[in-house]
Structure 1
Amino acid sequence: MKLFLLGAALLVASAGAQAVTGAQTVPRLPQAEAETRARTVLEGMTLDEKIGQVSMAHFFRFLEGGKSGPIAADAGDVFARLLPGATLNGGGDAPQPNTPRGWADALRGLETLGRQNLPGGVPAVFGTDAVHGVNNVPGAILYPHNLGLGAAFNPALTQELARATAADMRAMNMDWDFSPVADLGRDPRWGRFYETFGESPWLVADQITASVTGLQSGGVAATLKHFVAYGSPGLGRDRANAEISLRALHELYLPPFKAGIRAGAMSVMANSGSVNGVPVHASQNILTDLLRSELGFKGLVVSDWNDIDRLVNTFKTHADLVRATAASVNAGIDLYMVPNDVEKYEAALKEAVEGGLVSQERLDEAALRMLTFKAQLGLMDARPSGSGVITNGRALAKRAAAATLTLLENDGALPIKTGRVLVTGPAMDSAAIQLGGWSVNWQGVGKGNVSYMPKVSTLATALKASAPAGVTVSALPDSKREALLKAAANADTIVVALGEAPAAESQANNPNLSLPSGQIGLLRDLLGTGKPVVLVLMAGRPILLPEDLQNRLPAFVMAYLPGSEGGAALADALYGRAGFPGRLPFTWPGSLGEVGLTADRPPEGAGDAPLPLYPLGFGLDYTTFRTSDGQAARTADGVKISVTVTNTGEKAGTATFIVNASLPPAGNLEAVSRPVGVVRAELKKGEARTLSLDIPAERLEAFTGDAFRTVRGEVLPGQYTFKTGDELVRLSLP
């Protein structure tokens, strides 16, 4: 029997460990030793070399033809002129050939040129957004996006996926991943909602620990992003201002970042937006006082894309790039992710230093952090070259996708056992919809200059290929509406796959939480046939369906953005060969007016609260579970909860229960129910297991203080109530 206990106790790799990736062993120096070596290099650097060290140049600056091509003949001269400490690929630009081997050779070539042309022979570090596998590389297997992994409530799986991603990155000589997203998904209108692990701080924190541990044990530097409160922008619009209180900051937004820092994350990326009217890229309070002094982060702080320029051109908080540069560097930005005009930024920083706006000491500090970062990754030494061979991760991708699938409605339409099945809908065979944004190109498949079409297991193909005896499957595109409705009249079950078009960041904002009108019309027509309709939704957020349709769905499956093997995983679940282990990692609102409703919302002054369409943790399966015999006991570090979970249904399944805590009165608003952890286990028919969870004391802290005063976190004396399923247990803490 496999038992999963989710809490704070995830293994964290030590800073000085050897990271093993396939046949390679990548040295990882402890920070103190790495810093000593970095100081030796720094002492011999000129002002221009230090400025270059804290600048990042885009990968395409070193390629023939700009966006995609072989390494340019003058790439060494570009290094010698720009002296960049880092390079990056933002998605859509690529070497030639654009293959894993091509990537390995190109990056090895750039590393060699860097050693020849950069101070101390220390090459530039290459960073990329490998956010669900090595998603910019044609041929790579792509895993579910984070929101789906949040639905799996299985940090061990998240860690396994991160480790597999790191192995593929190292095989292509990539050292630095701009992942994981430690932001909370609190507003589903936001375009980056699907990049989060969900809404609940401590449940997300467990996933962040797992992701950081998996990446860095695989020899790749992780990046916590985006510090801090990026996930609660005004009006749900990307990069907008977030108005948050000190109480919300400490109770909601910091726990995932705390977890990542404790797990040893080597870098942090700054929030592209603003908090309380101050752009984070210019906030010393956030990037230095909070991140470094309060949270103890000692690694590298990198800007987000072009965000120092944004202070001048978008936020209009600074008169020119020199002043914006000085403000950002003084606030705590060590490395500027600048994609295009490196020369302009380096000139602005030099003017700021020479004019006294940025001290030589601050520049040295930033350059030292950059060099230390690279020393920790082994870049100061000769290293084995990546094999250029990435793993065949299809089995892992299918297992991951299967763990995410969440059944929201079922009146008996599932599982499909016999009869004629008709499959339709724009998502039934669309790699673009199934993979979402950050897939081959930044905005998704087919939206950039790389035209590669990934090989994915789609729903229609998988349903046909794996249909059990007694089931026949046909598929028709929704564009052939007359033929489709005629076929629907003769079907026994209709499976309709709907979904959002791929997009990323602001382009993925969905202010109405809606699908295109054509998809809604298709669903209405199919329901109008009177035949059982199974809706499969591939989307990066909860979608609001018209009430007359929502109330008529015989079966409703939330598939999130399931990755390369989503179709195969869905077919197994729809046919009953597998169950639906996923549970919602967010609160699904019933209307736009309920956006912002979360499981940890405190009581309103009127004494009531709206009920969501589906609450956090909701999900059905082909079996049922019962909780009993709940117990709570004090431990040296917090509270231990145990509960007996019994599979009361007719099939094996995965029991997942969020453990919620209710705190004693604190003088301030507190959540009626605060999620503090999860118990999860795979149980056979009729099997009962006693599951336990250790809840660290910090997860029970109340942050008390008056409206505009500093808050203080403490575990208050009084009675605490813990709820797991239907079990309530109470415990008094002194």
Structure 2
Amino acid sequence: MPTADRSRPRLVESVDGTRYRDLNGNGRMDPFEDPRRSPEERTEDLLGRLSLAEQVGLMFHTVIETGPDGTLLDGPGAISKSGTEEVVLGKHMTHFNVHGLESAGAAARWHNRLQELAERTPHGIPVTISTDPRHGGAQNAGTSWVTSFFSLWPEPLGLGALADPALVREWAMTARREYTAVGIRAALHPVADLATEPRWARQRECFGQNPQLVARLVTAALAGLRGKQDELSVQSTVKHFPGAGPQKDGEDAHFPYGRDQIYPGGRFEDHLLPFRVAIEEGADAIMPYYGRPLGLEIDGEAIEEVGFGFNRQVLTGLLREQLGFDGVIVSDWELVNDNHVGEQVLPARAWGVEELTPSQRMQRILEAGADQFGGEECTELLLDLVREGQVSEQRVTASARRLLLVKFRLGLFDDPYVDESAADALVGTEEACRRGHAAQASSVVVLHDDGAVLPLLSDGAGPRIYAEGLPDGVVASLGEQVATPAEADVALLRIGAPFQPRDDLFLEAWFHQGDLEFPPGFAHRLARIRAACPLILDVDLDRAAVLTGIVEHCDALTGSFGVSGAAWIDAITGVIPARGRLPIELPRSMAAVRVAPEDVPGGTADPLYPCGHGVQLGSAGR
């Protein structure tokens, strides 16, 4: 039999007319290459052919970076630890979380080159590219990427403000179409966590605090990512099991001081509900969080106080056995090794098992029930554990089976390539951007309107505007920008929710943490502005904020969730009426936050604005 040309993808036509890819280059259609067979049959055939190193490679999922103009990166990147050829050919890895992307066309070119590289491996296993969310306006190198060429939509918290499953499904369908156009076939979302702790830094990624609403919206997101039967689908990864919201004192479990997850209100089942529903709806993968549960009991059994990624009672006992989940469990990033980036270090999130060696941590993760190590590429550690008899080959095969099955179901073995020439036209289309813009404007929540200031009407000539936090071009579209409040007919201010900056550990600067109150002088500055002209203030609520003491100095106050300046203007002028309602409560004081139970939805006493609050405006136009 002739040997297939491994330098380029090859499609062969068999004697009965079936077209297939000769991935192992032996000149015949083996069962795993046969598109007529079921994903299960193909998986079993391929498993029997793989070396231990190939199976182990499937179990690692780490960051990958691109070279300029769609080239492969030869060496380590800003965060990625190894060059592309080393991880694909040397370590047999086939799952990668891509970071910065230059353009849709460059992303498509890079993806195809990566798939060509994968064809040089013994069995040509295609690569699965994953991504953190990319369709919002917030950047956090540890959790999400600000959109550039993808269409811009509200953050999930803004979608929660609209509480519309049909819109969430459309958002996810748009993400699926744009992802698949550039070769991304796995989403490291949706987030099924409840935003019950007002200080927690990751609230913007959640749909809100209400368990039933979050469950409905997660279901809609899964449907959108899956698509119809004849459409390319994107693997979903629901996170962070069993619910990452109730962090002690609101600190995030990325960091050693935020390792503890607590349930003082006894509401564990509330946090579990969206995951129960996601499993019933066919979630492809689930990611447990870093946190370690303190004082948690499930069905009367005390749960070991170790991170969820190391916790057999939670991953095997609860997730696998009780909830019946047989999909992929991928650990959150870097549970095994410390992460060194430049001069900064972030300790491995081995909460509760810090004393273990990296090899021992890896063994604990496997014993807990996980299939894949997020953020790691230390394949040699697992190979050594198998050779030493600490981990059985059967255990490796069990996880490799789940991981291969997803690849076959996605159709990657039959055709992983994308049309490079079409990518730019398919991503960020005019219609997708228009729909995203409309969703942003609609999601704005009017918290306070003193004397019916909104919608902001124009007298025809356009008002004189004093602005902060708005692009000049956006202000010019509404009226004349002036330099001081004294010259203005109205002041328009957009600010972020308050936080306490931190930057001692890698990634820490990206997380908005700490108290929710504005600096004491801020209210006085607002009062001076309002003394000169009416004031409309918007607060970008990437998490809750204490607005007591601020609202009295505003003629109108809005809350938004990753909304562009242009969309906010459309909302406050009524071109696209703001109709959002708060998906989380806004507490009255930090004193109320500090005594509230972290796990209870709506747990602060006498909130300034309760969940569901929102002043509804009519349409006015400009």
Give the TM-score range, shorter chain.
Answer: 0.7 to 0.9
Letter paired with 1:285 = Q
Using a 3 Å threshold, how does the CA distance of structure 1 residues 528 and 516 change in structure 2: closer, same or farther? same
Q: Distance in 2 between matches of 1:64 and 1:76?
A: 7
Matches within 5 A, 1:362-373: 362-373=395-406
Note the alpha carbon deviations across 1:548-582, whole angstroms, 9 max, x for none. x32232210112211xxx32332223223332210
Partner of 1:400: 439
Matches within 5 A, 1:207-246: 207-217=217-227, 219-239=233-253, 240-244=259-263
Partner of 1:255: 273
Partner of 2:391: 358
CA shift for structure 1 position 262: 2.2
Partner of 2:562: 561
Q: Distance in 2 between matches of 1:171 and 1:264?
A: 24
1:378 and 2:411 equivalent? yes
Partner of 2:469: 427
CA shift for structure 1 position 601: 5.4
| Residues 57 and 87, structure 1, Cα contact 8 Å, conserved in 2 | yes
Partner of 2:492: 495
SS where residue 120 of structure 1 aligns? coil
Partner of 2:615: 620
Bigger strand fraction = 1
| Residues 133 and 187, structure 2, Cα contact 8 Å, conserved in 1 | yes
TM (normalized to structure 2)?
A: 0.78
Matches within 5 A, 1:435-454: none
Using a 3 Å threshold, how does the CA distance of structure 1 residues 78 and 196 change in structure 2: closer, same or farther? closer
CA shift for structure 1 position 38: 1.2
| Residues 135 and 142, structure 1, Cα contact 8 Å, conserved in 2 | no
Letter paired with 1:368 = R
TM (normalized to structure 1)?
A: 0.67
1:462 and 2:467 equivalent? no
CA shift for structure 1 position 200: 0.8
Partner of 1:281: 309
Q: Distance in 1 between matches of 2:602 and 2:77?
A: 53
Matches within 5 A, 1:155-304: 155-217=165-227, 219-239=233-253, 240-244=259-263, 248-250=267-269, 252-276=270-294, 277-304=305-332
Partner of 1:44: 49
Using a 3 Å threshold, how does the CA distance of structure 1 residues 234 and 219 change in structure 2: closer, same or farther? same
Using a 3 Å threshold, how does the CA distance of structure 1 residues 602 and 176 change in structure 2: closer, same or farther? closer
Using a 3 Å threshold, how does the CA distance of structure 1 residues 137 and 121 change in structure 2: closer, same or farther? farther
Letter paired with 1:324 = R
Question: Among 520, 525, 529, which residue is 2:528 paired with?
Answer: 525
Q: Distance in 2 between matches of 1:491 and 1:58?
A: 49
1:474 and 2:481 equivalent? yes
Using a 3 Å threshold, how does the CA distance of structure 1 residues 597 and 156 change in structure 2: closer, same or farther? farther
Q: Distance in 2 between matches of 1:528 and 1:199?
A: 37
Q: Distance in 2 between matches of 1:413 and 1:64?
A: 57
| Residues 602 and 610, structure 2, Cα contact 8 Å, conserved in 1 | no
**Aligned-CA RMSD value:** 3.2
| Residues 427 and 499, structure 1, Cα contact 8 Å, conserved in 2 | no
| Residues 589 and 597, structure 1, Cα contact 8 Å, conserved in 2 | no
Using a 3 Å threshold, how does the CA distance of structure 1 residues 356 and 416 change in structure 2: closer, same or farther? same
Segments of structure 2 that go 5 or more residues without pairing to the other structure are 1-33, 67-71, 137-143, 254-258, 295-304, 339-346, 502-506
| Residues 113 and 123, structure 1, Cα contact 8 Å, conserved in 2 | no
Note the alpha carbon deviations across 1:60-89, whole angstroms, 9 max, x for none. 3951353389xx9x8546422110131222
SS where residue 183 of structure 1 aligns? coil
Partner of 2:375: 338
SS where residue 176 of structure 1 aligns? strand
CA shift for structure 1 position 540: 0.6
Q: Distance in 1 between matches of 2:165 and 2:217?
A: 5
The farther-off stretch of 197-206 and 49-58 is: 49-58
Partner of 1:509: 512
Matches within 5 A, 1:530-679: 531-545=533-547, 547=549, 549-562=550-563, 566-595=564-593, 610-622=605-617
| Residues 536 and 557, structure 2, Cα contact 8 Å, conserved in 1 | yes
Using a 3 Å threshold, how does the CA distance of structure 1 residues 146 and 313 change in structure 2: closer, same or farther? closer
Q: Distance in 1 between matches of 2:597 and 2:480?
A: 40
Matches within 5 A, 1:104-123: 104-117=108-121, 119-123=122-126
| Residues 280 and 287, structure 1, Cα contact 8 Å, conserved in 2 | yes
CA shift for structure 1 position 348: 1.7
Q: Distance in 2 between matches of 1:203 and 1:131?
A: 23
| Residues 406 and 582, structure 1, Cα contact 8 Å, conserved in 2 | yes
Letter paired with 1:220 = V
Partner of 1:103: 107
Q: Distance in 1 between matches of 2:556 and 2:596?
A: 25
Partner of 1:147: 157
Using a 3 Å threshold, how does the CA distance of structure 1 residues 474 and 75 change in structure 2: closer, same or farther? closer
- Structure 1 vs Structure 2: percent identity of aligned residues? 27
